[in-house]
Chain A
Amino acid sequence: MNFLFELKEGLIISLKAIRANKVRSVLTTLGIIIGVTSVVLMSAAIKGIDQSFQEGVASLGSDNLYIDKWAWFNNDIPWWELRNRKNLKLKHFEKYKAAAKLPLAVAPTANAFRTIKYEEKSVQSIALTGTNHDYINVTNLTFSEGRFFSEFESNGGHSVIVLGSEIAKKLFPHGGGIGQFVKVGPAKFKVVGILEEQGSWVMGAWNPDNQVYFPIQNIYKYFQNEHWGSITIGVRAPNSQMVEAVKEEAIGIMRRVRGLKYDEKNDFSVNQQEGLLNNINESVGVIQIAGLLITSLALFVGAIGIMNIMFVSVKERTKEIGIRKAIGAKKRTILGQFISEAAIICLIGGMIGLGLAVVGSMIIGQFDFPVTVDADAVIIAVTISLITGVLSGFAPAYTASKLDPVDALRYE
């Protein structure tokens, strides 16, 4: 008797048995439905989180470098060493800018946190970014209204401001922000531009949507002593292939600018998104393992349920097994029959679970939480439900196959 024939007949017999025991089959399926739904939803959620992390990182710009006193993502250098580095000043930026040949654009940034107000409305402790007109070339910022401040406004340190989309939404819910004056700390700024929605929730306060931009001189004039603060130099390479070259050049120039001897360590760091990516991949990895571990518990419970019910089913159908054996069913035939019964039940449950997960992800998607169910999820659902079925069906099926036909026939 060939294998395919046995498989086909086994499947038909299993399907008949499942159909004959509808209530029990439905109850069994429930456990696996819940298990598969949670696993698929969880993996979809993790994928969604990962994706929005990646997007958040991408908003830093893949061609961008950030020269800073601090190493953003590097934990190898002890924090006190970083703290003891000399601050980066505008004069360092000027020297670097003059010497650098490779970058597409460079711009200094200095930050402070203050509340911004317009009439009665205010937004608390937002990131103020002081920079110059070149900043627009370092980033990919796009505008829904207005423009970035000009070279003239920048050089003159004018009181002009560009609002991130979230800030603009809160201060000017009905639009019409351009040309209005907003109050930041002691100073008044004229709104010249409003950004389009840019970023991702991942970046938090550093999301461009939650920031405002104005000429860097204003930072020192109103919010911070120039000697206490350190600036960041944003550098944009012409393309991704050039990033390494730009980085090498930047390190060389900055060592000269800072007057370092050949045996002294860098007293600045060149940061890039790769560092952040590594950090994020680590965290997502942890979330992934934890999430899948927890959801596989649900699946495990479902599998135990199936095993349980299959054991009951074997007991209940002892006589049937006896009859089948008496008229010539071999051990492996019975084994196959019960395993494929469990596998089919699980597969059906897996499909239903997948459907529920898709619906569930749509509902969750309504609440702005990133969830993605894709082709992978289908493969995951099918694979785990099949494996669960075979594994949980094996022990009961083995018990069934071992039954002695004489005893089984006598069983009432």
Chain B
Amino acid sequence: MSTPATGTPGQQGAPLLDVRDLVVHHGQLRALSGISLRVYPGEVYAIIGANGAGKSTLLRTIAGLHHPTEGQILYDGRDVTGMRPEKRATAGIGMVPEGRRLFPSLTLEENLKVGATFARSGPWTIERVYDLFPWMKERRGQKTAQMSGGEQQSVAIGRALVANPRVLLLDELSLGLAPVIVQRIYGMLPQILSSGVTVLLVEQDVSQALRVATHLQCLLEGHSTLEGRPADVTAEQVEAAYFGMGERSEAAESTAVQSAAGQSTPEQSAAEGSA
């Protein structure tokens, strides 16, 4: 496929993450059908969509936990499509997986130490995580299984940060958490961004995603239905893209919504670029 033209304003320079026409199958099921996205340094790129839209599959494929049947993943200009997940992690693709996935038989500090074992050099240390989440210091000897969901989520974020990732994949931070806790956790995002980490997040909670995102893409049943900056899309467009309302035909709908949003599919933008 032709290289997409530069997307929305604010997406400048070389993309840190460049996903091209990703197709992923779970057995017979086609979970992702040709998803493309470009994440530029300093962005908060949000993938929204309902349950089963393929959001987590997309993030897990970028992290290397699923293998795409088609398409490419470029990280910092390098093709990492066939790279093992642990190699991607040490190269700087960090991930906070859905459901936290802490090591239950390890203490809080041991969880962070595992995260720091193969860390790149950078600003994040276990001490700095303790500065970000001051409650952790005195509970570092505790097993994480006894902690609340919000606390566990914070540990999972800390475990990913101490590896000093360049791009951090956040999978459903809000899952199973009270709104107040979700607010508090997303409140940490500016501090994470200011340390130079780029964020690609997946979120079912659309209003939360819209608050923090600099760029968003909506998935529906493995297809992209909307892409753009939060300021450029209306609530109605997001709603239509999220629930798949309007035209029934997915392909037609996808094009319609994207055109309505002033956005363009890569093919269109290439055409526009040459026009």
Q: Do A and B bind each other?
A: no
Instruction: Give B contacts to A, CB under 8 Å.
Output: none
Instruction: Give A contacts to B, CB under 8 Å.
Output: none
